[in-house]
Amino acid sequence: MKARPITTVKTVVTGIEDAGAGIKLFTLADPDRWELPPFKPGAHIDLHLPNGLVRTYSLCNEPADNARYFIAVKREAEGRGGSRALHDDIRIGDIIGVSLPRGGLETGPEIARHVFVAGGIGVTPFLSMARHLMQTDDVDFALHLIVREEIPFAAHLAPLIDADRVVVHRTSQRGRPDLASLVGEAGPQTMVSCCGPESMIDDFEQVTAAWPAANVHVERFVAPPPVIDPDAKPFTLSLARTGTEIQVRAGQTMLAALQEGGIDIATSCCGGICGACKVGWIEGKPVHRDRILSPYERERYLMVCVAGSDSERLVLDL
Ligand code: FES
């Protein structure tokens, strides 16, 4: 059976910078200094690390700067190993394969104001957007950065702090700020976004529960525990491009069934939060369990690492 190709771009590490609070900022460039594939503000890439791990990071630089990719990595001693490998093993000159950039934050003309709420390293998905919005006059934004004491990326954030576009809230001094007052009133032209610890995301989801789903965006670092569906039934995946049929056993993930069938699928989080395993679907009734696709996207795509099926047959665009 023919495997599905996974596209990566070869990059070289051209810079490693300490960015405070156990964070390193890596600069990746094309080995021959060609431009890198373009990206939208807030986009992600998967790093295919030399040790075989694949990990997803936000791009932090301004999208107009396509000579490099900046990614910020906090060393998580108890994490799954990706951040340790980057901090401890990767040196300037090392080659790293990266996926094409994907996703990004909504920048459509219907949005006139963005409010970003970030906890510590959770500022990374919003850095490129903030840098991008600084260059435009027609979209207002505020970035609320909640830290215990130390500001990550202090040197990079200084111009935004000086311009009063980033407001730093130090919890060591005043406790956690009231998120409801930070996000303000719901409005069709306002987009609110949050990235940070799970407790902060829970609070944010509560205060924005009445907002239109399309105006609320959440980024997670940690995938929620896998959903075990005791009533799960087996189903058939039909791959539209080849006519191949693959059986998914009760309780098995689509991802595992596809991999057993020899289909290569890009993965990173395996928990429905990174977007790496996004696949189009054509027929059937998928059960979406991801935390990343919008209601509109779910009409066309699913995440094979977590999605299930409510129909006996699901046709995928593979
Ligand atoms: S691998 Fe991250 S969403 Fe599926």
pLDDT for 37-82, tens place per residue? 999 999 999 999 988 899 999 999 999 999 999 999 999 988 888 9
**Which domains occur in the chain, in start order?**
9-98 (2.40.30.10), 113-219 (3.40.50.80), 235-316 (3.10.20.30)
Spell out the alpha helix ranges (H) of 49-119: 82-89
Distances (CA, A) of 116 to 42, 105, 113, 158, 171: 12, 11, 10, 17, 17
Measured from the CA of 305, which atom of ligand 1 is nearest?
4
Instruction: Please write the tens of the pLDDT for every residue from 70-121.
Output: 999 999 988 888 999 999 999 999 999 999 999 887 667 889 999 999 999 9
Using the mean position of ligand 1's atoms as its centre, give its distance from the Cα of residue 275 in Å.
Answer: 5
Measured from the CA of 269, which atom of ligand 1 is nearest?
2
Measured from the CA of 266, which atom of ligand 1 is nearest?
1
Nearest-CA residue for atom 3 of ligand 1:
272
Radius of gyration of the chain (CA): 20
Using the mean position of ligand 1's atoms as its centre, give its distance from the Cα of residue 255 in Å.
Answer: 9
- Mutational pocket test of ligand 1: of 54, 267, 301, the residue with most ligand atoms within 8 Å of the beta carbon: 267
* The pLDDT value given to residue 13: 98
Q: 247 CB contacts (<8 Å, ≥6 apart)? A: 234, 235, 236, 237, 257
* The pLDDT value given to residue 4: 58
Using the mean position of ligand 1's atoms as its centre, give its distance from the Cα of residue 7 in Å.
Answer: 16
Using the mean position of ligand 1's atoms as its centre, give its distance from the Cα of residue 206 in Å.
Answer: 25
* The pLDDT value given to residue 6: 60
* The pLDDT value given to residue 231: 85
How far apart (Å, rounded) are the C-alpha atoms in residues 171 and 104? Answer: 29
Q: Do residues 285 and 309 touch, judged by C-beta distance below 8 A?
A: yes
* The pLDDT value given to residue 150: 93
Using the mean position of ligand 1's atoms as its centre, give its distance from the Cα of residue 187 in Å.
Answer: 31
Ranges of the chain with pLDDT below 50 = none
* The pLDDT value given to residue 295: 85
* The pLDDT value given to residue 3: 53
Using the mean position of ligand 1's atoms as its centre, give its distance from the Cα of residue 292 in Å.
Answer: 9
How far apart (Å, rounded) are the C-alpha atoms in residues 100 and 78? Answer: 28
Ligand 1, CB cutoff 6 Å, lining residues: 267-270, 272-277, 290, 303, 305
* The pLDDT value given to residue 5: 57
Task: Tell me which residue of 200, 241, 253, 242 sits closest to 222, measured CA to CA.
Answer: 200
* The pLDDT value given to residue 81: 87
